[in-house]
């Protein structure tokens, strides 16, 4: 697939990697790069050889937010009609996505990272929602996902005070899975992705689906939802293989079915 603003590769078996590649604008998210990211994530999602996806940028910037120059001349109606606004495409990706982030992780960049399932950050990563500094508010989930991730007090400070969190602060607050030196964070994300890609993929998908529901449903409805996914796992060949392999004391051979 010919992309102009992102790069894609398969850095390890089962791992698909999409890289934002607009260095002159610190990977600012305009309509084209956003569309290309969602196209690439969906292509990896459809690809049977891929079990886990990594979304990354450069060491200097994962993304410095939505493209302010593009938004500057856009009014409310223009924003509503732009396919830039349809970020639900990312939520529908069934395979796990790891954000491997470094440098600026701001505004829409922070929101995009939070839409991923895990975040591996370099020590230089700076997380923020500075929209207030340009007279707007977060529009791709920042007020909701950041608050759920780090709690109201820190979220208010970040958004009202336009204060960036360091990688360690973000990890302590619960936003980031782990922090690694800038030289190795991507390799560590690839190792994690490889490990997930080796897991039985139907179970991986069912877990991602159920965990994401935990953010939306009351506990009783969430437990019912989990139970249905649990029963569904019992309809897979991998359930039979996994349990048989345990009893026979051998490594399971997953069919991802
Ligand atoms: N948009 C456009 N260009 C940007 C940019 C951005 N967000 N961030 C940086 N650039 C460009 C700069 O204009 C500059 O380009 P030239 O002037 O060289 O042509 C180049 O990248 C390098 O930037 P700087 O010279 O500013 O670099 P510094 O190291 O001095 O500063 C910085 C780095 C990250 C602190 C600074 O660039 C900065 O403050 N950038 C803006 C950060 C920001 O305010 N981000 C939030 C934007 S609002 C939605 C989805 C998403 C969103 C909303 C709705 N829907 C689905 C509805 C998201 C909104 C946002 O993210």
31 pocket-lining for ligand 1 (C-beta < 6 Å): no
Q: Is the pLDDT of residue 1 over 80?
A: no
Per-residue pLDDT at 219 = 98
Active-site annotation holds for 43: no
What is the rounded distance in angstroms from the CA atom of residue 226 to the CA atom of residue 42? Answer: 25
Concerning whether 99 is annotated as a catalytic residue, the answer is no
Give 128-179 pLDDT, tens digit per residue.
999 999 999 999 999 999 999 999 999 999 999 999 999 999 999 999 999 9
Contact at 8 Å (CB) between 122 and 182? yes
From the alpha carbon of 61, which atom of ligand 1 is closest?
Answer: 34
Q: Mapping DSSP to helix (H, G, I), strand (E, B) and coil, where does residue 127 land?
A: strand
The question of whether 111 is a catalytic residue gets the answer yes
Catalytic-labelled residue, pool 36, 111, 188, 226: 111
All domains of the chain in start order, with CATH = 6-197 (3.90.226.10), 201-247 (1.10.12.10)
CA distance 132 to 80: 20
CA Rg value for the chain: 19
pLDDT at 83 over 80: no
Give the pLDDT band of residue 81 (cuts 50, 70, 90).
confident
Atom of ligand 1 nearest to the CA of 129: 46
- Rounded to an integer, what distance in angstroms lies between the CA atom of residue 242 and that of residue 134? 53
Q: Does the C-beta of 104 come closer than 6 Å to ligand 1?
A: yes
pLDDT at 85 (0 to 100): 79
Least confident among 5-19, 75-89, 104-118? 75-89
Strand blocks (E) in 75-170: 97-101, 104-106, 118-122, 126-128, 165-166
**In this predicted model, what pLDDT tens digit does every residue of 214-232 receive, in sequence order?**
999 999 999 999 999 999 9
Q: Is 108 a catalytic residue?
A: yes
């Amino acid at each position: 697939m010919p992309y102009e603003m992102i790069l894609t590769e398969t850095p390890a078996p089962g791992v698909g990697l999409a890289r934002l590649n607009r260095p002159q604008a610190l990977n600012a998210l305009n309509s084209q790069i956003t569309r290309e990211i969602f196209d690439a994530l969906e292509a990896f999602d459809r690809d049977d050889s891929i079990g886990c996806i990594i979304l990354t940028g450069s060491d200097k910037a994962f993304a410095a937010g939505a493209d302010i120059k593009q938004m500057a001349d856009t009014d409310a109606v223009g924003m509503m009609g732009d396919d830039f606004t349809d970020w639900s495409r990312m939520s529908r990706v069934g395979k796990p996505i790891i954000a491997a982030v470094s440098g600026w992780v701001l505004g829409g960049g922070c929101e995009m990272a939070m839409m991923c399932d895990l975040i591996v950050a370099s020590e230089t990563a700076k997380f923020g929602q500075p929209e207030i500094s340009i007279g707007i508010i977060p529009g791709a989930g920042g007020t909701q996902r950041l608050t759920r991730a780090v709690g109201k007090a820190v979220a208010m400070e970040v958004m009202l005070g336009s204060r960036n969190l360091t990688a360690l602060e973000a990890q302590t607050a619960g936003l980031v899975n782990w922090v690694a030196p800038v030289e190795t964070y991507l390799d560590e994300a690839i190792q994690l992705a490889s490990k997930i890609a080796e897991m039985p993929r139907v179970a991986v998908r069912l877990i991602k689906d159920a965990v994401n529901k935990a953010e939306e449903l009351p506990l009783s409805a969430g437990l019912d939802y989990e139970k249905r996914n649990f029963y569904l796992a019992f309809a897979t060949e991998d359930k039979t293989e996994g349990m048989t392999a345990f009893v026979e004391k051998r490594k399971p051979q997953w069919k991802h079915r």
